[in-house]
């Protein structure tokens, strides 16, 4: 029996969705967005996706390297950027293919909570008949990885914003 909310057209089933912790970050959405879109620096802070390459333009590929949960090797993946709304939403998806029928979509959401705070959450939906199998095999690993990434994003953005504020305070002090 399928979960309530199953869509037979898209293959979306709410039972096959992984959500990271929703985390509040003491930095503006613009700073968090800079961290999320600075793919060259992912290896400096991101424990899950340690490398990524893309223009992040909608319709273009994003190539990434993920830390495997069964050992410390890396798995390479390629998906397609499907949403890029500055300081709000960054998404990519894996389209269904006959030789790899595991379609999915990842959404990274930012919500400004004021001029110096925002909230972040990552959501991944595994689509179609294979979604349940992906959830059983990798769901807990994806959840743990997304939670670790959310915490690391918070730490990175807050550290960068702290430096930014300190530099602004120094400039104000020296010009006074």
**What is the pLDDT, as a whole number, of residue 14?**
87
Domains of the chain by range and CATH? 14-165 (3.30.530.20)
Query: CA of 8: how far to CAs of 13, 17, 46, 127, 128, in Å?
Result: 9, 16, 35, 10, 8
- Return the beta strands (E) in the chain as ranges: 17-19, 23-25, 49-53, 61-67, 74-85, 89-94, 104-114, 117-126
**What is the pLDDT, as a whole number, of residue 167?**
85
**What is the pLDDT, as a whole number, of residue 45?**
97
> pTM, whole model, 2 decimals?
0.90
Distance (Å, whole) CA 40 – CA 148: 19
Q: Give the tens place of pLDDT for each residue, 42-51.
A: 999 999 999 9
What residues in the chain have per-residue pLDDT under 70?
Answer: 1-11, 172, 176
**What is the pLDDT, as a whole number, of residue 76?**
93
């Amino acid at each position: 029996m399928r979960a309530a909310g199953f869509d037979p057209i898209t293959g979306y089933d709410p039972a096959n969705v992984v959500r990271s912790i929703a985390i509040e970050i003491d930095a503006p959405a613009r700073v968090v967005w800079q961290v999320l879109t600075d793919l060259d620096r992912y290896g400096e802070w991101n424990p899950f996706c340690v490398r990524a390459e893309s223009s992040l333009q909608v319709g273009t590929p994003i190539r990434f390297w993920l830390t495997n949960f069964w050992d410390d090797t890396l798995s390479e993946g390629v998906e397609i950027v499907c949403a890029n709304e500055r300081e709000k939403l960054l998404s990519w998806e894996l389209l269904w293919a006959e030789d790899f029928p595991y379609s999915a979509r990842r959404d990274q959401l930012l919500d400004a909570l004021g001029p110096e705070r925002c909230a972040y959450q990552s959501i991944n939906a595994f689509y179609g008949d294979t979604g349940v199998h992906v959830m059983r095999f990798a769901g807990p690993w994806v959840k743990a990885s997304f939670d670790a990434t959310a915490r690391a994003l918070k730490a990175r953005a807050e550290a960068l914003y702290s430096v930014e504020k300190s530099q602004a305070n120094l400039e104000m002090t020296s010009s006074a």
